[in-house]
Amino acid sequence: MDLAAFQRRVTPELGDEYRLFRAPGRVNLIGEHTDYNDGFVLPAAIDRDVLMAVRPHGGRTVTLVSLDFEGVSTFSLDEIGYDPAQPWSNYLRGVCFVLEEAGFHLRGADVIFGGDVPIGSGLSSSAALEVATATAFLSLAEYDVPGEEIARLCQRAENEFVGTRCGIMDQFISALGEADRALLIDCRTLAHRSIPVPPGVKLVVGDTGVRRGLVSSEYNTRRGQCEEGVAILQTVLPGITALRDVTPEQLATHKALLPEMVYRRCRHVVTEDARVLQAVGAMEAGDLLTLGRLLNASHESLRDDYEVSCRELDTMVEIARRQPGVYGARMTGAGFGGCTISLVAAEHADAFVAAVAPAYEAAVNLTPAIYVCAASAGAREEEIGDGESGAA
């Protein structure tokens, strides 16, 4: 979010007793439904974030002002409760709660924040808010905590305090993202490696505008099918504990053991893991054509083998692939609605948006939201003066 725009929304203007922190949302380039199979994901932080101004004081009270939601929420760091009246505040309360519980002694502060990560679109505005909060409060109290640990604490806040089940990818990339790079994460060990995004492309996210209640029940079904696949495959591959341990060749060899649908679910996961690693190779070689083909193959696999796509996602992907300058396109996120990601040559990005939005709307009678994004840096502190000089 642009600092000058943020400053304009804050009255009175922020003085120098404030410090400023930001943390981004994210998009996953490839590696879908691999996380709970101990596999690989490849997210990038995007240039949309939560911007948070914090003014520490001597006490233990925290006052939260949201620029995007109505209201003010106040709590004491000595007794952090859940606030049903201001649900947005629980992301910040949860982070402070988990940090205090982990032994960090935080400082009370006045907090003003806002953001431009679209909310509830699958770009993880919630992780951006959590990671911004953790980064800010830890810095105010002069703790130097690695991004990996910040991510784990924020995930715990979302799981245990807010009460949303989520993996760790979103917090991880929001904390550890780097400009023009994506992050390969091994979901088994959380080992990670920064991977360059080849220059000259934009990550264009298209929100289909569809949200289907199916997601959580279908998600649980898929997880169950993966577990069933592992249990059967263990009879012939005793060393495995997750689909991560199975190669596409091994799966093909033992196809006859598996019910047909379970086989297809497993085939998505094992080929998707392989595609993530191939995508890493393509990115390191600067090979956008191969990267684009891998995105396309990921979509086909999610659509046909994993069966988590839907008409709107397929339509948007097909329209996207027809546009000039597009290397590849696929659904991203859990599926049954949500977003697509297209890899688009930078000089074609504006024309892409101008063409895809009306074509999609004409096809499905829904207005999409399309966001042209660049792989961006993770959570950081910023000088309060930066935005003003940048805007001048």
Binding residues for Mg ion (CB under 5 A): 124, 126
- Choose the one of ligand ADP, Mg ion, none that binds residue 114, judging by a C-beta under 5 to 8 angstroms depending on kind: ligand ADP
Enumerate the H helices of the chain as residue ranges: 3-9, 89-101, 125-140, 147-156, 169-176, 214-234, 248-253, 260-284, 288-304, 311-321, 349-364, 386-391
Chain residues 49-78 in contact with ligand ADP, contact rule CB under 6 A: 50, 66, 68-69
CA distances from 59 to 66, 91, 105, 229 (A): 21, 21, 12, 55
Phi and psi torsions of 18, nearest 5° = -90, 150
Place of tokens 């329209």: 319
Chain residues 290-329 in contact with ligand ADP, contact rule CB under 6 A: none
337 binds ligand ADP (CB under 6 A): no
92 binds ligand ADP (CB under 6 A): no
Chain residues 127-166 in contact with ligand ADP, contact rule CB under 6 A: 129
- Choose the one of Mg ion, ligand ADP, none that binds residue 139, judging by a C-beta under 5 to 8 angstroms depending on kind: none
- Choose the one of ligand ADP, Mg ion, none that binds residue 75, judging by a C-beta under 5 to 8 angstroms depending on kind: none
Which of 59, 71, 81, 87 touches ligand ADP (CB under 6 A)? Answer: 87
Cβ-contact 117, 123 below 8 angstroms: yes
Q: Directed axis angle between helix 147-156 and helix 89-101, to 10°?
A: 120
Query: How far, in Å, CA of 169 to CA of 238, rounded?
Result: 29
Least Å distance, CB 66 to ligand ADP, is 4
Q: Directed axis angle between helix 125-140 and helix 89-101, to 10°?
A: 50
Task: Name the residue nearer to ligand ADP (CB basis): 140 or 339.
Answer: 339
Task: Name the residue nearer to Mg ion (CB basis): 170 or 305.
Answer: 170
91 binds ligand ADP (CB under 6 A): yes
Parallel, antiparallel, or unpaired: how do β-strands 19-28 and 109-115 relate? unpaired
- Choose the one of ligand ADP, Mg ion, none that binds residue 69, judging by a C-beta under 5 to 8 angstroms depending on kind: ligand ADP
Catalytic entry in 35, 38, 170, 273: 170
Least Å distance, CB 77 to Mg ion, is 24
115 binds ligand ADP (CB under 6 A): yes
Instruction: Please indicate whether residue 180 is annotated as part of the active site.
Output: no
338 binds ligand ADP (CB under 6 A): no
Query: How far, in Å, CA of 343 to CA of 198, rounded?
Result: 11
Place of tokens 């935080």: 106
Q: Which residues bind ligand ADP (CB under 6 A)?
A: 50, 66, 68-69, 87-88, 91, 114-115, 119-126, 129
Q: Which residues are catalytic?
A: 170
